[in-house]
Structure 1
């Protein structure tokens, strides 16, 4: 075999080009090389996985996007919590500084007692349940070995997952009976704090509706006063009056808006609780129902114990008095069960007799 000079020259050029490419790539920062290697591995894995389907391809291609969203959500969680504290605190401040003096001067004693008792009860319930929802861990898989039955293996944690357990990319952990990750709590909503989350949403909605309805006439008066003074300024209209009217308008607009939005969310979660499922399970159960419907079969949620029993299990009501002590008053009782094992189809009996 003979080598011609032109072929030899071409080979030397290719070798030099490859060495220059490698040398130039080695000069790149380490984090860029790591990302490049990770992306190359993702692409190559698509050719060597016999179980590759559309979901695997989608997860692989959008993995950097998911990672970015999870990172940003984790970082902004603290900002959202501070925003909730500031907004709720501003409404409470307006209620004490502006509304309470008006109530004491204009309302009859029975109405004063009603507003003072109801308002303070709402404040206590909102504060208690929000604090517990943010500070209570949602429920994690035990680190030590346990004999609990599992239904799958988490591809991120490489650990067996019990029923109703899902992996949270933001918390980077598997959550027992995970509902969703709430940025307004900076925490996952799971088995141990699901009741606190729903109770906070419920009492926050009741508080917003209360402020919106009771402050409607004050809002109309404040809005008309500002509009009238803007068109024809009057000397008696002081800066203090202007700030009071603006505070009333701010309170009414904020509580009305939050009441509508949060009220819709609370009603949706109430429907899910009545069905015995979480937000994630609603999506999974819907897909499973469609899959079985094509085969002429009907899907039944194995964790649906009946509407009343679902609520008793969720709220931890074990006797009649608990509807008062555990639902209408602050209570830090633990939820029913350990979140690792679940009874299936106890429809004909009360799981928690009252």
Structure 2
């Protein structure tokens, strides 16, 4: 038995000695590949981006070709809401003649409508801005890896438009355009005025919607109407006072017909559309308001978070160099300089250009904190 164990041990040692060079060679090859492909700038995010590249490519292509359809959709839905409001909601208030309600609705409604149309048109038609081809006009800049051109600060490459965009925030399929330096204000004002408009319409339509949608008699008659073809429905609804004879059945059908009239459908459509848009657009608008208040774009938000996390590991506090405080950030964003006012150039349609050319940016004197002292960036 001892001799057998000893023989097995020797056999395993010989097998290990014969295989060991192959493992050493394999480890050496892996080390060589890592040394050749080593990149000090690589990270988990870079690997994730590379893995998700096919998905990003698909989304970019879909956004590019569906963009015009989204613009038509926004225009069509907005037009339908306005027409229903004119032909069905306003007559309801005019017939009631409730004090100054009608003049208020007319003034506020048209003010919101004009601002929505103006800012949406400008957001769609205004170019966000691209860096000039000549590098001498830019000064210090990096090189874009996609279009191999000068890339100023806060400029990013849009894979949908296939060009670099000054102070790019994101590519908006609803505008079929990039949101950048020269049309960022139009985008935000469109979102704000559209949000105010949907809230305004939802509140105005609520009395009619409540009257049409929450009427117990109409709702019960509607249920009976759709269940009546089912065998045995008479016994189900008999206890609720629904007659089985033809005259009363016709009366029920008449009520159902009134409920499903054009007026009922349009009022329900108007409220549900505006209310759902209020919720979705409200969340988007609040997010962008927060970003502007911090002096950053959607893309810069992720870049700043990564930079903040990286510097935190070495005891450094990162500060956004383009943030000048809540009030100043909004003044710069809205372009309120040279005598421009909030009342004239924000609350009313205005085509004034933003502050700066989108190439050279004023930088706040940021500080970074190391241990117990401060050091200027």
Q: Find the counterpart in structure 2 of residue 32 from structure 1.
A: none
Q: 1:209 & 1:299 partners in 2: Cα distance?
A: 39
Q: Contact between 1:315 and 1:327, CA under 8 Å: does it hold in 2?
A: yes
- 1:133-212 matches, cutoff 5 A: 133-212=123-202
Q: Find the counterpart in structure 1 of residue 112 from structure 2.
A: 122
From 275, 285, 290, the equivalent of 1:266 is 285
Q: 2:35 & 2:98 partners in 1: Cα distance?
A: 77
Q: 2:266 & 2:34 partners in 1: Cα distance?
A: 58
Q: 2:165 & 2:208 partners in 1: Cα distance?
A: 46
Q: Find the counterpart in structure 1 of residue 39 from structure 2.
A: 51
List runs of 5+ in structure 2 lacking aligned partners.
1-32, 225-250, 367-377
List runs of 5+ in structure 1 lacking aligned partners.
1-44, 348-354
| TM, length-normalised to structure 1 | 0.79
Tell me whether 1:276 sits opposite 2:268 in the alignment. no
Tell me whether 1:227 sits opposite 2:219 in the alignment. yes
Q: Over residues 268-293 of structure 1, what are the superposed CA-to-partner deviations in whole Å (9 max), with x where a residue is unaligned?
A: 11111110000000110011011111
Tell me whether 1:244 sits opposite 2:263 in the alignment. yes
Q: 1:312 & 1:222 partners in 2: Cα distance?
A: 45
Q: 1:151 & 1:285 partners in 2: Cα distance?
A: 19
Three-state SS of the structure 2 residue aligned to 1:233 is: helix
Instruction: Using the TM superposition, name which of 55-64 and 256-265 deviates more.
Output: 55-64
Q: Contact between 1:140 and 1:176, CA under 8 Å: does it hold in 2?
A: yes
Relative to structure 1, the CA distance from residue 144 to residue 151 in structure 2 (aligned partners, 3 Å threshold; closer, same or farther) is closer
Q: Over residues 311-336 of structure 1, what are the superposed CA-to-partner deviations in whole Å (9 max), with x where a residue is unaligned?
A: 01111112676111111000011011
Q: 4+ residue stretches of structure 1 with deviation over 6 A?
A: none
Tell me whether 1:333 sits opposite 2:340 in the alignment. no
What is the deviation of 1:214? 2.2
Q: 1:229 & 1:320 partners in 2: Cα distance?
A: 63
Three-state SS of the structure 2 residue aligned to 1:174 is: strand
Three-state SS of the structure 1 residue aligned to 2:317 is: coil
| TM, length-normalised to structure 2 | 0.75
Q: Find the counterpart in structure 1 of residue 74 from structure 2.
A: 84
Q: 1:340 & 1:294 partners in 2: Cα distance?
A: 32
Tell me whether 1:253 sits opposite 2:241 in the alignment. no
Relative to structure 1, the CA distance from residue 255 to residue 321 in structure 2 (aligned partners, 3 Å threshold; closer, same or farther) is same
Q: Find the counterpart in structure 2 of residue 305 from structure 1.
A: 324
What is the deviation of 1:62? 4.2
What is the deviation of 1:48? 5.7
Tell me whether 1:100 sits opposite 2:90 in the alignment. yes
Three-state SS of the structure 2 residue aligned to 1:167 is: strand
Relative to structure 1, the CA distance from residue 264 to residue 48 in structure 2 (aligned partners, 3 Å threshold; closer, same or farther) is same
| Structure whose CA Rg is larger | 2
Q: Contact between 1:222 and 1:246, CA under 8 Å: does it hold in 2?
A: no
